[in-house]
Amino acid sequence: MSARHILTYLVAILPLGLFIGYPLGALLWSSVSTSNEGAVTYTLAFLAEALSSPAYLAVLGVTLVICIATAIISVAIALPMALFVWSRPARYQPIALLVLILPMFMSYIVKIYTMRSLLGLNGFFNQLLLTTGIVDKPTTLFLFNRGSILATFVVLYIPFAALPIYLSLERVPANFVLAGRDLGASYARALKDIVLPLASPGIVAAALFAFILALGDFVTPQMVGGPSGMTFGRIVWSQFGLAFNYSLGAALGIVLLVVTVAALAGSGLASRALTARMGR
């Protein structure tokens, strides 16, 4: 291996090790160790505790349901948006794409506050229902429940889902679609049998983005979830600060990490299966 090769590897691998390998290692180490006055003890008690509490597992279940729903709904909304951008004439596409991902440039907190002012008891939707006489007093139907967490997640993560879908659509050769049309396929048929299978890696990536971003989010549930807004990220968060139970926090973090890796592996398999079916 030449010096240049070694350098290339170093440049690629060093940051990976430093910014991903090291923190992950530290997380794992924290989850199985505890230190008291400098004396370190190794134990699996924290991992056992993280996995044995029925309340925590129930919250994990609720969190997964919300995050899977976020992934499905985000893709369902982002896919037509990405298709629309992709089917514009080439010179308008960059502008249409920019509009699509513009919300990414906005502060996350600003978006959550905006959602709250739309959904709140004195918010837009309640005012609308009140003035139209549909309800006679403001309803908490929109805010401070699990539905509002889902709605806010979807609004936050649609751009993150739309971008990978668009990028995979862009790689679908236009003449494939034309060929299909020439052979008598309707536009819908061409979409279903040619475009979507070719774009499937992007769609899977989009679902994964939305899912993982939602899974790690502990601010949104706090701000819009109300008394039923407990998610797993918040349990992890609660172990830091004055609680000073970094070991249990790390163990809970490992649980979340395992779920994320499982989702990654699952989507990898799904993506391969879809591509294989297409290649048949």
Partner 1 sequence: MTDISRRGFAAMIGAVGAYIAAPAVLRAQETELRVYTWEGYAEPEFVLKFEAANGCKLKLTYTGSVDEMFAKMQGSKGQDFDIVSFDTGSTGRYVEQKLIQPLDTILLPGRAGMIPVFQQQPSLELDGKLWGVPHAWGSLPLIYSKEAFPTAPESWAVLWDPQYAQQVIALDDAINNTALAALILGFPDPYNLTDDQLAAVKAKLIEIKGNLLSYFAGYDEGVSIFVDNGAKLMFAMGEPQAKSLRDKGADVACTIPKEGGIGWIDCQFITAGAKDVALAHKWIEACLDRSVGEIMSKKVGYGNVLDDSLNREIGMTYADRLKYLARPESYDKRIKIWNEVKAA
If one asks whether residue 121 binds partner 1 (CB under 8 A), the answer comes out as yes
> Which segment (68-76, 84-92, 168-176, 220-228) binds partner 1 by CB under 8 A?
220-228
Q: What is the DSSP string of the chain?
A: --HHHHHHHHHHHHHHIIIIIHHHHHHHHHHTEEEETTEEEE-SHHHHHHHH-HHHHHHHHHHHHHHHHHHHHHHHHHHHHHHHHHTS-TTTHHHHHHHHHGGGGS-HHHHHHHHHHHHSTTSHHHHHHHHTTS-SS--TTSSSSHHHHHHHHHHHHHHHHHHHHHHHHHTS-HHHHHHHHHTT--HHHHIIIIIHHHHHHHHHHHHHHHHHHHHH--HHHHHH-GGG---HHHHHHHTSGGG--HHHHHHHHHHHHHHHHHHHHHHHHHHHHHHHHHH-
If one asks whether residue 67 binds partner 1 (CB under 8 A), the answer comes out as no
Between vectors from CA 263 to CA 98 and to CA 173, what angle results, nearest 5°? 45
Shortest reach from residue 234's CB to partner 1, in Å: 7
If one asks whether residue 234 binds partner 1 (CB under 8 A), the answer comes out as yes
Cβ distance to partner 1 smaller for residue 8 or 228: 228
Shortest reach from residue 99's CB to partner 1, in Å: 29
If one asks whether residue 241 binds partner 1 (CB under 8 A), the answer comes out as yes
Yes or no: say if 147 and 125 are a contact pair by the CB < 8 Å rule: no
Q: What is the DSSP string of 97-127?
A: HHHHHGGGGS-HHHHHHHHHHHHSTTSHHHH
Yes or no: say if 43 and 222 are a contact pair by the CB < 8 Å rule: no
Q: Which member of 43, 114, 127, 140 binds partner 1 (CB under 8 A)?
A: 140
Shortest reach from residue 143's CB to partner 1, in Å: 8
Q: Which member of 33, 87, 93, 222 binds partner 1 (CB under 8 A)?
A: 222
Task: Compute CA 22 distance to the chain's CA centroid, rounded to the nearest angstrom.
Answer: 24
Cβ distance to partner 1 smaller for residue 12 or 109: 109
If one asks whether residue 39 binds partner 1 (CB under 8 A), the answer comes out as no
Binding mask 73-112 for partner 1 (x = CB under 8 A): ----------------------------------------
Shortest reach from residue 173's CB to partner 1, in Å: 51
If one asks whether residue 142 binds partner 1 (CB under 8 A), the answer comes out as no
Shortest reach from residue 220's CB to partner 1, in Å: 12
If one asks whether residue 243 binds partner 1 (CB under 8 A), the answer comes out as yes
If one asks whether residue 55 binds partner 1 (CB under 8 A), the answer comes out as yes
If one asks whether residue 30 binds partner 1 (CB under 8 A), the answer comes out as no
If one asks whether residue 271 binds partner 1 (CB under 8 A), the answer comes out as no
Shortest reach from residue 45's CB to partner 1, in Å: 12
If one asks whether residue 223 binds partner 1 (CB under 8 A), the answer comes out as yes
If one asks whether residue 35 binds partner 1 (CB under 8 A), the answer comes out as no
Interface positions with partner 1 (CB under 8 A): 53, 55-56, 58-59, 116-117, 120-123, 138, 140, 143-144, 222-223, 225-230, 234-235, 238-245, 248
